Chains A and B, each alone.
Chain A
Amino acid sequence: MREAIIEFSGVEVKYGEVEALRGIDLKIPGGKVTVIIGPSGCGKSTMIRTVNRMVEPTRGTVRYQGQDVKTFDKIELRRQMGYAIQNVGLIPHLTVEENILLVPRLLGWSEDKKKKRAKELLDLIGLDAGKYANKYPSELSGGEAQRVGVARALGADPPVLLFDEPFGAVDPLKREELQDEFIRIQRRLRKTVLFITHDLSEAIRLADYMVIMKDGVVVQADAPERLLKEPGSDFVEQFLGTDRTLQRLTLLTADRIARPLRAEKEEFVGLSGVSWKPLEEGEILAKFKKDSGEFAYRTVRVSIHAARPYASLKECVSRFLALGLPAIPVVDDSGKVVAEVLFDDIQRITKEG
């Protein structure tokens, strides 16, 4: 584990009689996504809010970069940490651009720098700057608003991101898309992220490090693969559910087991024996040998049968079922065929208890 950027030592938070946090000792690794998950009321939001001092612990210390957060000026500390919440909280009378540039504005960036940054961020979250920069929050759909919330958290390029159910207010389909975006963005930026969710599959997909909480304490904290393989208690086992194999498939991404392809003239060939020939928009011609020895062709539609590098293996399985071949192509964001995933490899994974 890389150096711990955030550390909790004996952190307790009490509101009158109610104990929200009952002693947290945790080391949060830098440059990774730490997902905090647990049933409602377990203290996850409270814990994340002690990091940027929206909540002050009644006991114990929170350390950032080795220093007690109390020694930082509250406001300066917060400007170093991006914050995104379920309700987003976009300022209704400011444009999307003005919302995103909120922290840069507070920090006094120059107009040029700000303009550039706004465009960068809108591109990053996949919204056309020309169209969206001057829209108002009331004109955005739920998914667009959540994305703008993420862009706003990234505004001044803070090293730390605190996300409290940032994708909570959208439907499951949109949510998966947002998760894809997040994975894509995080691979580029490598921020230290504290991410709260109550959705287990979201947690498994996104986490490098997973913290399970209950009633104000940390029950178990580990890499998700290990948690799934060896749950440390009845509670954790129940919490993760019985279908841990399927969850491990959710956990692993295509690029973990993808096999490379050789380029031969216009086709890509790999171990599977299927050759992939990119055609027009969004289609690939697959050529394979049948048992009889004859060659057969099938048209592959990228949107239905191919997988992105960061797609979960669970998704890959459904694509296999749709295509019906021993492999599926892996296509990157620009549409290029970059690798293939073999069904045999997926089977191997599920067999490894």
Chain B
Amino acid sequence: MGIGILVLVSWFLIAAGRLDALGVLKEALNRQDRLVAEIVNHVRISSSAVLIASFLGIPAAFLISKGSKARKAFLGLMNVLQTIPSIALFGLLIAPLAALSRSFPLLREMGIRGIGDAPAIIALSIYALYPILRNTLAGIEGVSPSVLDSGEAMGMSRREMLRIIIIPLTLPFIVHGVRLAMIQSIANATLGKLIGAGGLGVFVFEGLGQYSVDMVVLGIIFLALLTIGADALFRIVGYAVVPKALRKQYYSEDRSS
């Protein structure tokens, strides 16, 4: 959804003929410090979300890969959550988080309040869970049952099976899921500004509010750069993590996603 906003705004600006390269540069130089700070914030917020989602999602995939009931329930829940518009989810989290932070001063010390970075990160984690969970699951279930059966029958312990067979074969799928989650989070994090979080959304929305096209374009340019950078990084990691033997197999198919 974040990407959609980006595309829409860019189109609007270009169509309205208000794109002035010089103006953007001036804007960038003027607000250098703030720019750098918000880039850092943006990276921090989206990365935290993906990290949290990974810590929860990857083990969860392993756990639910066995049973069919848990599996259906989980995937169903994730599906539903994905359909909630991000702004709505952000908004929904404000009240409960505010209440929690009022009752537990420790949380307030840590900087967790109803508005700001905390609800943004939490909401982004929830969205990031789906691609990570689903892709990890696909990887786990893609391991041939004959391989697992003969491995176990030859005397491999559960740990050895994970280490020697399951993880090497599943890792490429996990990285794929994390990459998707990362791209999604970078885009969605733009909306964090609306509930008081930092990040490049600050440039986009303040720019919109002040009718400063240059600010908006600045924000968008760096969002694009971050997205492209993260995508490239994870594609490289994804390639490195595929076992040599399977490279031809994995990369001969069309990797358009």
Q: Looking at B148, B155, B169, B246, which has the most chain A CB atoms within 10 Å of its CB?
A: B155
Q: Contact partner of A138 among B151, B154, B155, B249, CB < 8 A? A: B249
Among the listed B149, B151, B156, B169, which residue makes an inter-chain contact with A93, where contact means beta carbons less than 8 Å apart? Answer: B169
Give the B-binding residues of A (Cβ under 8 A).
49, 52, 54, 75-79, 82-85, 87-95, 102-103, 106, 136-138, 152-153, 162
List 17 additional contacts besides A54-B152, A93-B245, A102-B156; criterion CB under 8 Å.
A52-B153, A54-B149, A78-B154, A83-B150, A84-B150, A85-B150, A89-B151, A91-B147, A91-B151, A92-B169, A92-B245, A92-B246, A95-B245, A102-B154, A103-B155, A106-B160, A138-B249
Q: Which residues on B sit within 8 Å (CB–CB) of A83?
A: 150, 153-154
Residues of A within 8 A of B160 (CB): 106
Q: Is A88 within 8 A of B146, CB to CB? A: yes
Question: Which residues of chain A have C-beta atoms less than 8 A from B164's C-beta?
Answer: 91
Is B155 within 8 A of A90, CB to CB? Answer: no
Q: Is B243 an interface residue (CB 8 A)?
A: yes
A57 CA / B211 CA spacing, docked (Å): 77
Q: Which residues in window 135-176 of B have CB below 8 A to A?
A: 144, 146-157, 160, 164-165, 168-169
Of A54, A75, A85, A88, the most chain B CB neighbours within 10 A belong to A75
Jot down 22 A-B pairs with beta carbons below 8 A, ordered by A: A49-B153, A54-B149, A75-B157, A76-B155, A79-B154, A82-B154, A83-B153, A87-B144, A88-B150, A89-B148, A92-B169, A92-B245, A93-B246, A94-B245, A95-B245, A102-B154, A103-B154, A106-B154, A106-B155, A106-B156, A137-B245, A153-B154
The listed residue with most B CB atoms (<10 A of its CB), out of A87, A91, A102, A103, is A91
Residues from chain B with a CB closer than 8 A to the CB of A52 are 153
In the bound assembly, the distance between CA atoms of A95 and B165 in angstroms comes to 13
Which residue of chain B has its CB nearest to the CB of A73? B155
The CA-CA distance from A343 to B149 in the complex, in Å, is: 48
CB distance from B154 to the nearest CB of A (A): 6
Chain A residues with Cβ below 8 Å from B152 are 54, 78
Which of B150, B154, B169 counts the most A-chain CB atoms under 10 A from its CB? B154
Contact A54 B153 (CB under 8 A): yes
The 8 A CB mask of B10-36 against A (1 = contact, 0 = none) is 000000000000000000000000000
Check if B147 sits within 8 Å of A78, measured CB to CB: no
Q: B144 to chain A: which residues have CB within 8 Å?
A: 87, 89, 92
**What B residues does A75 contact at CB under 8 A?**
155-157
Report B74 CB to chain A, min CB distance, Å: 26
Q: Is the interface of B mostly helix, strand, loop or mixed?
A: helix
* A85 / chain B contacts, CB cutoff of 8 Å: 146, 149-150, 153
How many angstroms between the C-alpha atoms of A152 and B149 in the bound complex? 14
In the bound complex, residues from chain B placing their C-beta under 8 Å from that of A49 are 153
When the two chains form their complex, are residues A90 and B153 in contact, meaning their CB atoms are under 8 A apart? no
In the complex, A52 Cα to B164 Cα: how many Å?
21
Return A158 CB to nearest CB of chain B, in Å: 10
Which residues of B lie under 8 Å from residue A91 when comparing CB positions?
147, 151, 164-165
Q: Which chain A residues border B156 with CB–CB below 8 Å?
A: 75, 102, 106
Q: B147, A90: Cβ atoms under 8 Å?
A: yes
Question: Are B243 and A93 touching (Cβ within 8 A)?
Answer: yes
In the bound complex, what is the Cα–Cα distance between A305 and B246 (angstroms)? 45
B155 contact set on A, CB distance < 8 A:
75-79, 103, 106
Partner of B168, one of A54, A87, A93, A153: A93
Please give the distance in Å from B247's CB to the nearest CB on chain A. Answer: 10
Pair A89/B245 contact, Cβ less than 8 Å: no
Of listed A76, A89, A95, residue having the most chain B CB within 10 A: A89
- Decide: B146 and A87 in contact? CB cutoff 8 A: yes
Residue in chain B with minimal CB distance to A79: B155
Taken together as a complex, chains A and B put the C-alpha atoms of A152 and B164 apart, in Å, by 16
Among B147, B150, B169, B243, the one with the most A-chain Cβ atoms within 10 Å of its Cβ is B150
Ranked 5 nearest A-B pairs via Cβ: A89-B150, A78-B155, A93-B243, A79-B155, A89-B146
Q: Which residue of A lies closest to B144 (CB)?
A: A89
Q: Which of A77, A94, A162 has the most CB of B within 10 A?
A: A94
Complex CA gap A83/B146 in Å reads: 12
User: Would you give the shortest CB distance from B245 to chain A, in whole angstroms?
Assistant: 4
Q: How far, in angstroms, from A79 to B154 measured CA to CA in the complex? A: 6
Interfacial chain A residues near B147, Cβ < 8 Å: 89-92
Closest to A83 in B: B153
> Taking A75-B157, A106-B156 as contacts, is the C-beta distance between A138 and B150 under 8 angstroms?
no
CB nearest neighbor in B for A95: B245
Closest to B247 in A: A93
Question: In chain B, residues 228-249, which have Cβ atoms closer than 8 Å to a Cβ of chain A?
Answer: 243-246, 249
Question: A103 contacts which chain B residues (CB < 8 A)?
Answer: 154-155
Contacts of B146 on A, CB cut-off 8 Å? 85, 87-89
| Residue numbers in A under 8 Å from B151 (CB-CB) | 89, 91, 102
Q: Please measure, in the bound complex, the distance between the C-alpha atom of A256 and the C-alpha atom of B146, giving whole angstroms.
A: 39
Q: Specify the chain A residue showing the minimal Cβ separation from B243.
A: A93
**Residue on A nearest B165 in the bound complex, by CB:** A91
- Name the residue on B nearest A105 (C-beta): B164
A69 CA / B168 CA spacing, docked (Å): 32
In the complex, what's the smallest C-beta–C-beta distance from B159 to chain A, in angstroms?
11
- How far is the CB of B157 from the nearest CB of chain A, in Å? 6
Residue of B nearest to A82 (CB): B154
A233 to chain B, nearest CB (A): 33
Residues of chain B within 8 A (CB-CB) of A136 are 245
A84→B149 CA distance, assembly (Å): 10
Cα separation A76 to B150 with both chains bound (whole Å): 15
Bound CA–CA A138/B252 (angstroms)? 14
